[in-house]
Amino acid sequence: MIKLSFIGFLATIVLFVFGIFSTRTYNIEKIEIEFENLPKSFENFKIIHISDLHLVSWTSAELLDKSVKAINKLEADLILITGDLVSFKANEILPFLDVLSDLKAQYGVYNVLGNHDYGDYVKWNNWQEMVQNMEDFESLNLQMGWNLLKDENVRVFSPDSFEYISIIGVENWSKSRHFNHQGDIDVALQGVDNEGFKILLSHDPSHWEFLMENNYDIDLTLSGHTHAMQFGANFSFFKWSPVKYISKHWHGLYLHSQNGKENYLHVSAGMGCVGFVSRVGFPPEISLIELKIK
């Protein structure tokens, strides 16, 4: 019994150490998704989806720079980031400001807030400090050239025609009472063409469940939040993580069909860490999504 316990303890240590080294690399996931209503000029449009950088978990700017260079090398048309840039405070961005400013795409970089970005996990001396932290967060986003969407939307136009797609960003919204519930999808959708092609950035995938239950028509929703619990197995023939027992939609691509329409959700395993700086089975993830006409 003691021998088995020791072997189990040793295996845990080996996995944890392996997971630490795993955080120093990245995995590029390539996905093609077909849509019937995708504007013709957006055929083969490429999107980078990343999430949950949790900058305090990165040991150096040089390490993050490797991922940024890999992203830029993919030459995506658009970069979309689905929240939790920081874990606690906006000043986590400062050591990485120059590196993150190098993220480039023809149609820009857009992001939304995750539950950690609000500063809810810090014991502030007063309310004003928390407000200042959010102002600093937004200011640093501007300095990096990112577009932070807070219950709002933008149109991305094709340079070859008047066709466009709508990018919608909602503040954090979760079914769980344990997480921030700021987002208002109806405000975010104001002015959006109901028949047009829509991409929604919403940090928590449980929001997508709510949207589908209430018959919202969003062609593609991008989320993060789960981290795939930074532990599990991710193979083409088998995927597992303990988080599957907590979150119904926890990693990868999901499809919901309703009223003759297909609505997709993509959940990123994230890039940074929370709780422990280790990733077993799910290294930092860069997703390249290519849009196709069905």
Which phi and psi angles does 263 have, rounded to 5°? -115, 130
Which phi and psi angles does 91 have, rounded to 5°? -70, -10
pTM: 0.94
Q: How many CB atoms lie within 10 A of CB 50?
A: 25
Evaluated on CA atoms 264, 101, 137, 229, the torsion sign reads positive
Residue 202 and residue 173: Cα distance in Å, rounded?
7
CB 66 within 8 A of CB 26: yes
pLDDT at 46 over 90: yes
- pLDDT-wise least confident of 53-57, 127-131, 173-177, 264-268: 173-177
Residue 24 and residue 64: Cα distance in Å, rounded?
9
**DSSP class of 291:** E
Cα Rg of the chain (Å, integer) = 19
The total number of structural domains that make up the chain: 1
Residue type, 38: L
Mean residue pLDDT across the chain? 93
Q: Which of 169, 247, 255 is nearest to 219 (CA)?
A: 255
pLDDT at 11 over 60: no
Q: In the predicted model, what is the mean pLDDT of residues 95-100?
A: 99
pLDDT value of position 9: 44
164-174 burial code (b ≥16 CB/10 A, e <16): bbbbbbbbbbb
The predicted-structure confidence for 119-172, as pLDDT tens digits, reads as follows 999 999 999 999 999 999 999 999 999 999 999 999 999 988 899 999 999 999
pLDDT value of position 43: 98
- pLDDT-wise least confident of 206-210, 231-235, 250-254: 231-235
pLDDT at 6 over 50: no
pLDDT value of position 80: 99
The domain of 111 spans 2-293
pLDDT value of position 16: 53
CB 267 within 8 A of CB 223: yes
In order, the DSSP letters of 58-124 are -S-HHHHHHHHHHHHHT--SEEEE-S-S-SS-GGGGGGGHHHHHT---TT-EEE---GGGGTTTS--
Which has more pLDDT, 236 or 198?
A: 198
pLDDT value of position 260: 86
The fraction of the chain above a pLDDT of 90, given in percent, is 85
50: part of which helix (H) or strand (E)? strand 46-50
pLDDT at 264 over 50: yes
The predicted-structure confidence for 57-91, as pLDDT tens digits, reads as follows 999 999 999 999 999 999 999 999 999 999 999 99
pLDDT at 17 over 60: no
Residue 183 and residue 113: Cα distance in Å, rounded?
9
- pLDDT-wise least confident of 11-20, 100-109, 139-148: 11-20
Residue 155 and residue 271: Cα distance in Å, rounded?
27
Q: Which two tokens stand for residue 190?
A: 């104001």
| pLDDT grade for 8, boundaries at 50, 70 and 90 | very low
Which has more pLDDT, 216 or 14?
A: 216
Q: What is the CATH number of the domain that holds 120?
A: 3.60.21
Residue 211 and residue 174: Cα distance in Å, rounded?
11
Classify residue 294 by burial, with Cβ atoms within 10 Å: 0-12, 13-18, 19+: exposed
pLDDT at 180 over 90: no
